[in-house]
Structure formats: structure tokens, C-alpha cells
Amino acid sequence: MSYRPAVGAAIFNKDGHIWLGKRYGQNDLFNWQMPQGGIDKGETPEFAVKREIYEETGISKNSIIKIGEIDEWLYYNIPFRLQKNDTVSRWIGQKQRWFAFRFHGEDKEINLKIQDEQEFSEWKWVPLSEIESKVIPFKRATYNRIAKDFMRYSKI
């Protein structure tokens, strides 16, 4: 078993707040996260992250500008109890490349139902300092690193 190659997006609005979505069908307090997903065969990480942003939020590549990235893979392990289906159980976790974007569109553009398989049930803009307390515990170290590396983008 190995780590699934994936990407993640920290999307900042004009006020320096970051986009978080609540995972669809989850009612736990810690089920908020930024857009993320796997890299498909033949994709570059940057292409994959823009695809994931659109699929999960409806935000088009024309409404975001890349402002930064973390130039190394960030790893997290998926707890064994959550490795319950064939898709997840092939992987012990994810290795992710993270990108920062500035959103210059309008909030009405955000559409969580753009795909048949909805990732998020609701969304909000939050200060970067709040993200670690809203995400599932096994992702907190990764989110802490993202907050540290991308903090400069939250200051307007």
C-alpha cells in the first residue's frame, strides 16, 4: 500500500479569508476542508488542482489566480477504521501538493452541485487562523503546515 497522489487548494478571497466546505453527508464538527482530490493519470498537479476546484466548488479557472504553492509533498495517513471501501483501502493515506489561489470572482459563482457526486453541503469564508479547529484530526498537521506557509496570503 502506498500514498495516493493528490492536490489541495487554499483559496483566498479579497478579504484574505479562506474557502472551506463542509463534507457532504457529514454532521461531525470536524468535517470542514479545503478542496482537494486525486491526480488523474497524465495530469500535472497544477492542472489537477484547477479541475478539483471546479468539480467541488464550481469556481472556474478564470476566477482564480495562482499566488503560491508548497514545493514538496505533504503526507497524511488515513486511520485504518476509515479505510472501508476499495477506493480508499488501496492507499494508506495521501501525498498532496498544495496551491494557493486568490479568488477574484463573485460568491454567487460558487455552485456545490456542479457535479452529480456532490463533495460539500455548505461552504464559508473563514480566517486562516480557524481552519485547523474545523478539520478532521488526522489532517490537522497538514492544515497547520498549509496555514504557516500561506499565512502571507491572508494578510490584505
Q: How is residue 105 annotated by DSSP?
A: S
- Dist CA 50 CA 57 (whole Å): 10
Q: What is the mean pLDDT of residues 44-73?
A: 98
Rounded Cα distance, 129 and 97, in Å: 21
pLDDT in tens, 89-138: 678 999 999 999 999 999 999 999 999 899 999 999 999 999 999 999 99
CATH code for position 48: 3.90.79.10
pLDDT at 85: 59
139: containing domain: 2-154
Closest CA to 100 of 126, 64, 124, 73: 64
> Closest Cα partner for 45 from 14, 15, 66?
66
Asked whether 37 and 48 are in contact (CB, 8 A), the reply is yes
Residue 126: what residue type?
A: V
Arithmetic mean of pLDDT over the chain: 93
Q: What is the pLDDT of residue 79?
A: 86
Beta bridge partners of 136: none
d(CA 67, CA 34): 16
Number of structural domains (the chain) is 1
Q: What local confidence, expressed as pLDDT, does residue 29 receive?
A: 77
**Computed over its alpha carbons, how large is the radius of gyration of the chain?**
15
| Confidence (pTM) | 0.93
Residue labelled with grid coordinates 464538527? 29
The pLDDT tens digits of the residues spanning 14-36 come to 999 999 999 998 777 789 999 99
Q: What is the pLDDT of residues 76-91, one digit of tens each?
A: 998 887 666 555 567 8
